[in-house]
Structure 1
Amino acid sequence: MRIPIIILLLASLFAASCGEPPMPPGDEEMIRHFATHEAAFCKVCEIMAESSDGSFHYPPLSPNGIIILDSTEQSDTSYESNDEQDIPVYGLLKPDRILLDSLLSEIGCGFVLVDRREWETADSIYVSLVIPYYSHNIVDAETSKSFVYDPGLRSYRDVRITEHGDLNEIYRRTYNDTTLYKPIKEDWYIKLEHLLFRKNS
């Protein structure tokens, strides 16, 4: 008779633990990941700054929300000089898109959100990137951590940037809506976002 009781206790403990959302990767883990793949992160930024156009999701989404990838089987013809064979996607030609696919695979991130603007008066280009690294949804909340490149982040109002403490521990103290940033290097940051989905009364 003891065995069923033990099984029930273990099952209840397991069920309780399942109610706890998994912990996002720690800041130090993400900083090490960035350092290991820094060249790839910077190359993504360089391509978007020099070759892309506008604000967009890469890889692009179809009307059904499906990510569209270039076929590597067609890579042999992607470098031909006939421009009619390559229709730019957000300004990106096929060689750039194939390289971006490879870089995103290397850094272990599925997509990147790009905001690229050209300032005519200053004759300069402003680019910011959000590269999601972790995301977890439950019924009433979503938690995500991303790598962010944004040269103007420190000038924005209401942006919380912390140099101390782990972002996971900071947000778990309250579990309220939270958006936090931690510097990695120069204009690169970790972004933690925790959103609660409130039901309409």
Structure 2
Amino acid sequence: MTIKIVREVWGQLVQAIKLMIFNPDQLNFVELCQAVTSLLSISVATVVGSITYTQLLPICTFPFGAELAGFAGALITGVLTLGLNYFLLYSAIAKKIWTYIDSLNPYAETIKQFQAINAKLDRYLIELSQVEFDLDLGELKIFTLKLEACNDELQRNVVLKQEVESRGIELPFEVGNVASTRNWLTSLL
């Protein structure tokens, strides 16, 4: 039974260490601590259940006594797992502790703001990807080939100017006029 206890505890410890090192679900610090606590509470429940089975087995010498001891050990393991997990993760005391640990991170609020901004950007990108820009792939390929064929900046400027004029794009500066371009760039500051 000792070997079983060591094997079960070792398995849970290895899972907890893997979770802490690799963090495959990209959990924040508090969620990571809660997941590790949950894994360790499972190992504690397994130890208590195994000890219960070991203590009941010599007492239950009647027919089906070994099965009854095994059932009692499994029942205690399950109930203790649920009870410990609930207490360590969701009880009033635990919530206060998890809130306090979360407040220790000085950048927690900033991280939450960045996560909210990231979610908004993801939504905008999804919406933007659904907008059709009325681009013909053939025209785009021809335009790309024209740009690739250019040997210097002067040729690129000519190709870009032709494309701007053909599409009727209004620019905030005059193409080819360096002073106009500089004025526009200065106005952006």
| TM-score category, normalised to shorter length | under 0.3
Larger relative CO (CA 8 A, sep 6+): 1 or 2? 1
TM-score of the superposed pair, with normalisation by structure 1: 0.19
Which has the larger share of helix? 2
As a proportion of its length, which structure holds more strand?
1
Q: TM-score, normalised by structure 2?
A: 0.20
Q: Greater CA radius of gyration, 1 or 2?
A: 2
